[in-house]
Amino acid sequence: MSHTTDLPASTQTALEKVSTAKAAWLDARTKQEAAATQRDIIRQRRAETEANATAQNDEWRRLFRENGGVMTPEMKKLRAEVALDRESLEEFDALLALHAQENELLPWETSERALAYISAHSDLVNLRAMQLWQMFMDAHGQQLIQTLSLLKITLGRQASAGIGEVDSVNDPDTVLKTFVARNITDPALVRDALPEDDVFKLAGTFPARGAHSDYRNSPSPAARHKILARREMAQKEQAQ
C-alpha cells in the first residue's frame, strides 16, 4: 500500500481540504448537539419546577379548605415556595429565550460546514477518479483501444454474416457499442465494486454519514432572512 506522500500533490491538497472541512463540520455539529442537550436540560428543570409548584399549590388549597381559611405556618411556607417556583418559571422562560437566541445560528453554521465538507469530498473523489482513469489509460490504453478496434471488425463481421449489414442493428459501430455496454458499462452501473485506493480508504468513497442530513436540515432562505432581520433590529435597539 502506498503512502499519502506517494500521491500527486493535487490529490494530497484535496485530501487535506477534506480533512479540514470534515473537522470543521464535526466541530459545528458537536456544538449544535451540546446546545440541544443543554436546552433539553433547561426544559426538563422547568417542567419539574412547574410540576412542583402545581403540587404545592394544590396542597395549599386543600389545607386552606380544611382549616377554614386560617393561614397556618405550614400554609405560609407553601405559599412562599409556590411564589418562588412561579418566579423561577419566569426566569426559566427568559433563560430558554436567551438560549434560543444565542444558538439559533448553529444549525445554519452546521449546514454550511456540512456543505463545505461534501463539496471538498466530491472534488477529491472526482479528481482521484480521473487520475485513476488516466493511470489506467497510460498503462493499458493503447492495448484497450487496439482490442476494441479489432472487436469492431470481428464482431461486426459476424453480426452481418448471412443477412448483410443492417444500420443501427448489426453494423460494426452498433455491435461494438453493444459489446462495450454489456461487458463494461452495464456492470459498472449495477455493481458496487470500487477501487481499493488509499485516497478512498482515508476519506471514504462517500461523505461521512450525517453530512447530507445536516445540510438538508439547514434553515430555509425565509427562516434565515427572519433571523438576520431580527438580529439587525436587536442591534439597532441596543445602539439607541
- For 66-115, write each residue's pLDDT tens digit: 999 999 999 999 999 999 999 999 999 999 999 998 999 999 999 999 99
pTM metric for this prediction: 0.80
| CATH number corresponding to 9-239 | 1.20.58.1090
Q: How confident is the model at residue 164 (pLDDT cuts 50, 70, 90)?
A: low
**Residue 177 vs residue 237, higher pLDDT:** 177
Whether the CB-CB separation of 215 and 112 falls below 8 Å is answered with: no
3 three-state secondary structure: coil
Residue 159 has pLDDT above 80, yes or no: no
Q: What average pLDDT does the segment 183-208 reach?
A: 88
C-alpha cell at 79: 405559599
Report the range of poorest mean pLDDT among 28-37, 141-150, 225-234.
225-234
DSSP string computed for 132-172 = HHHHHHHHHHHHHHHHHHHHHHHHHHHHHTTT---TTTTSH
pLDDT recorded at residue 237 = 76
Residue 1 has pLDDT above 50, yes or no: no
Residue 61 has pLDDT above 90, yes or no: yes
Q: How confident is the model at residue 11 (pLDDT cuts 50, 70, 90)?
A: very high
Of 31, 237, 59, which is closest to residue 67 (Cα–Cα)? Answer: 59
